[in-house]
Structure 1
Amino acid sequence: MKVAVIGSAFSGNKGAAAMLESGVQQLSARDAQTRFILLSMYPRSDAEQNEYPNLRVLDASPLRLGVLLNSAALLHRLLPPLRKTIERAVPEVGALATADVLLDQGGITFVDGRGKFLIYNVASILPALLVGTPVVKCAQAMGPFTSPLNRFAAKTLLPRVAAIVSRGAVTHEHLTGLGLDNLHEGADLAFTLEVTDRDAALAQAAVDMTFFEGGDVVGVSPSAVLRKSAEAAGEDYVAEVQRMIDHLTGTLGKKVLLVAHSARSTTDKTHNNDLPLCREVFAGLSSPDRVLFPDEELSSQALRYLIGRCDVFVASRFHAMVSSLAMGVPTLVIGWSHKYREVLDMFGLAEWAVGHDAYTDELFAERIGLLIDQEEQVRSQLEASLPQVKAKALRQIDVIEDVANA
């Protein structure tokens, strides 16, 4: 089986890396002959970080994807005699045309109010549709579809993909409202990500593990996406996170693991990169000696291992939340979309989601204090629910195989 993948990456957002590597791990486990082509937003850094011999990285950086790949795919459809020439000239189109399936692993797509991302959402799947390769949209958040442009795009393209896997009840309801018959319920594939002894050793080599001795560690994963929206509203997000951590280290006497769950070590650009934000936060803390901040780009598996060493976690990055839940760590979520709450709902823990629009220092103190008090109860609930969530995530592997082998 030959599988093309788009919307995920090794570098940058480690949630995207977790989705990518989970897919490679699970599909390869079923068929060792499976080969993967990653159509990458960051082709150079992804090629450097790729450790999978059965995966090849090709260039689908935004401008190339939007202009060259889509244009070449259209010509491929319209001019059958030139198809082989086009496939040789534009290898990404050739890879799509010869793939058994394209996996779209965008974490959140076709959502009202995200106009510039809608262009990318369309451009990611249109070339495959043009060359006749079936598309599976892996478990992701989608909708609502009330804005005219987003609803038009969704109603035009989504019925044409082979299968759509929703990532929770809210997304499923939004998609059901479009009248789709290619819809499957699922859970984020990153819940199945395997952390090996090698991954643990790399994490242990990156930080001073004595920090975790004696417990009392709270993980905190801030978000550059949340910072952008907060500052657009005139709020000081850096100061907010600093007060949050100072409350944990000062008032509550905890230690804090500060996690950049999106990281690009070779740039200071903030897209898919929380390192600059975390550096600013760390520089202004009252008790930096009580905070462990790995100031580098770690793998999704290494981050998951470290997150699993925490007693409680505070997540504003979606896949930092997935990793903490997957490791059985009680989690308080401070988010901006339905995508957080619908995943917590799978564990019966939606009460631990706080919308950033409702956030105050007082609310944070109240909720984190209560979560710490109820840590063992919440941990037991996570452990009881996790096998069903993982099984639900794995069902999309069946969907992918069915589509690819049809």
Structure 2
Amino acid sequence: MGNKPIRILVAEWVPSLNKGELAILIGMLKTFKALGKVEVSIFSFYPSIDRRRYPENIRIIDVGRDLYIGNGDSLMKASRLVKAKAFLFSAVQHFIFALAVKTFGKNVLRVMNKPIWKQYYRSDVIIICHDQVSCVGGFVLFLSPLYITLLAKLLRKPIVIYANGTHNFGRKIWKILATFVLNSTDLITVRDEESFSYLKKFVWNKTRIHLTGDPAILLPSVDSRKVREIMLREGVNEDEGLLVGVAMSYEVLSSAFRGYMNPDAAYRKAVRQIAKVLDRLVESFQASIVFVPHCIEPYHRRDDRIVAREIYSAMKNKHKVHIITNEYSPEELKGLIGQLDIFISSRIHSV
């Protein structure tokens, strides 16, 4: 392509308040450097939030605005019926755009002139299904991998499933749909052996699927001076004895006990059990507990700081607990976690 940059469209949202997700995005950008000069665009449902946290050299597409389906807050808090209407409207617009491009070519951009359509048209490659994003269900926009894959094929754009981690599609209908998506993409990279073995069963041309690694591994850490500044600010002293870091999520704790039909009841039991374990560490090993928030998303009970406070409330040895409430970058969190003696987490990218 000479001096022309390769235009990459990440056609899904990577929430920047989830620092594991943001670490993935930073790692993805590092891998793109192997291609030479690139221009990267990405979907966002919270552009005002993500713009301050994404790397500067990335173009943000306001999906809610461009598709006329509302902003992130309205979608996250909407009823199932409202969400279903938004998802259906999004899919219909994608099909209309695909047909219009086939009929009118580039001229369609005079009418469908929002940034999302321009980026679809001008992109050299489209990326979907990072991390644990379902190859069928997608993330936020239900079934988006299906209609984005169809659009990419009609536009004759290469489409890539990037560093995915899927272990089970569930029902037969989802397996059928997943088979279509997986065999319509041009390249599939998988981040772990379990997912690789599972996804290979659905891929006919095995040369298109590769076991690579999680791009978050490429995340750099801040230097030791910066880490010391953070520890000083948070009142964490390396001389306090055994430093035990903790990052727990409502999502995992609410499904910790299979016999519980009520997620909140399972969550409350898990909180009590973890509090007992942490108290035991304090009493037996004179440990200091440091709650490190790896996700501070303000919706669907995804803020780790809330979980930390509830575990803290259930503990006896509160004097040996530090709850970090400030927001830190993925690089800062990696440096901080590296200074702890033990780290206990339900979030994969924090460990």
3-state secondary structure, aligned to 1:158: helix
Query: What is the SS of the residue equivalent to 1:48?
Result: coil
Cα separation, partners in 2 of 1:23 and 1:117, compared to 1, 3 Å = closer
CA contact (8 A) 1:8 1:20 kept: no
**Partner of residue 24, structure 1:** 29
Q: Deviations over 1:354-374 (max 9, x none)?
A: xxxxxxxxxxxxxxxxxxxxx
Instruction: Tell me the equivalent position of 2:74.
Output: none
1:211 maps to 2:234? no
Matches within 5 A, 1:196-235: 196-197=222-223, 200=226, 204=230, 207-208=233-234, 210-213=236-239, 216-230=242-256, 232=262, 234-235=265-266
The answer as to whether partners of 2:10 and 2:41 remain within 8 angstroms in 1 is yes
CA positional deviation for 1:196 = 3.5
Are the aligned partners of 1:7 and 1:40 in contact in 2 as well (CA < 8 Å)? yes
Residue 14 of structure 2 corresponds to: 9
Q: TM-score, normalised by structure 2?
A: 0.78
Distance change >3 Å, CA 116–CA 283, structure 1 → 2: farther
Match of 2:300 in 1: 270
Counterparts of 1:66-215 in structure 2, within 5 Å, are 66-80=87-101, 81=104, 83-88=108-113, 90-110=114-134, 120=141, 122-124=143-145, 126-127=147-148, 129-131=150-152, 132=155, 133-181=157-205, 182-197=208-223, 200=226, 204=230, 207-208=233-234, 210-213=236-239
Contact 1:2–1:36 (CA<8 Å) still a contact in 2?
yes
State the AA in 2 paired with 1:180. W
**Which residue in 1 is equivalent to 2:59?**
56
SS in 2 for 1:142: coil
SS in 2 for 1:49: coil
Are 1:245 and 2:250 matched, yes or no? no
CA contact (8 A) 2:138 2:144 kept: no
Structure 1 residue aligned with 2:328: 298
Q: Give the match for residue 359 of structure 1.
A: none
Q: Does structure 2 conserve the Cα–Cα contact (< 8 Å) formed by 1:203 and 1:305?
A: no
What does residue range 366-385 of structure 1 map to in structure 2 within 5 Å?
Answer: none
Q: How far has the Cα of 1:258 moved from its partner? A: 1.0
**SS of the residue 2:127 aligns to:** strand
SS at match of 1:12: coil
Equivalent pair of 1:108/1:140 in contact (CA under 8 Å): yes
Secondary structure of the residue aligned to 2:52 is helix
| Deviation (angstroms), 1:140 | 2.1
Distance 1:198 1:253 in 2: 25
Name stretches of at least 5 consecutive residues in structure 2 with no aligned partner. 1-5, 71-85
Q: 1:288 — aligned with what? A: 318
% identical equivalent positions: 20
TM-fit CA distance, 1:209: 5.8
Please tell me the residue identity of whatever aligns with 2:160: V
Q: Hey, what's the Cα distance between the residues in 2 that align with 1:164 and 1:121? A: 20
Q: Match for 2:226: what amino acid?
A: A
CA distance in 2, matches of 1:202, 1:69: 47
| 1:35 alignment partner in structure 2 | 39
* Structure 1: tracts of 5 or more residues without a match: 322-406
More helix by share: 1
Instruction: Give the letter for the 1:85 counterpart.
Output: R
Q: Which has the larger radius of gyration?
A: 2
Query: Using the alignment, how far apart are the partners of 1:228 and 1:309 within structure 2?
Result: 29
CA contact (8 A) 1:34 1:54 kept: no
Q: In structure 2, how many angstroms separate the alpha carbons of the residues matched to 1:28 and 1:21?
A: 11
CA drift of 1:241 comes to: 2.3
SS at 1:73's partner residue?
helix
Query: What is the RMSD computed on CA atoms of the aligned residues?
Result: 3.0
Q: Which residue of 2 aligns with 1:390?
A: none
Of the structure 1 ranges 248-257 and 101-110, higher mean CA displacement relative to structure 2 is found in: 101-110
